Amino acid sequence: MKASSLHGHLDALILAVVEDEPLHGYAIIEALRARSEGTLDLPTGTVYPALRRLEREGHLRSEWSNVAGRDRRTYRLTAGGKKALAGRRGEWREFRDTISAVLGTA
Structure letter (DSSP) for residue 3: G
Query: Residue 68's pLDDT is what?
Result: 82
Q: Grade residue 52 by pLDDT with cuts at 50, 70 and 90.
A: very high
Global pTM reads 0.86
Q: What domains does the chain contain, in order, with CATH numbers?
A: 3-103 (1.10.10.10)
Query: Residue 67's pLDDT is what?
Result: 73
pLDDT(50) > 90: yes
Query: CA 88 to CA 74: how far, in whole Å?
Result: 22
| Contact (CB, 8 A) for 29 and 47 | yes
pLDDT(2) > 70: no
| Torsion angles phi and psi, residue 17, rounded to 5 | -75, -20
| Contact (CB, 8 A) for 36 and 58 | no
Query: Residue 15's pLDDT is what?
Result: 98
Which residue stretches of 18-78 are H helix?
25-35, 44-56
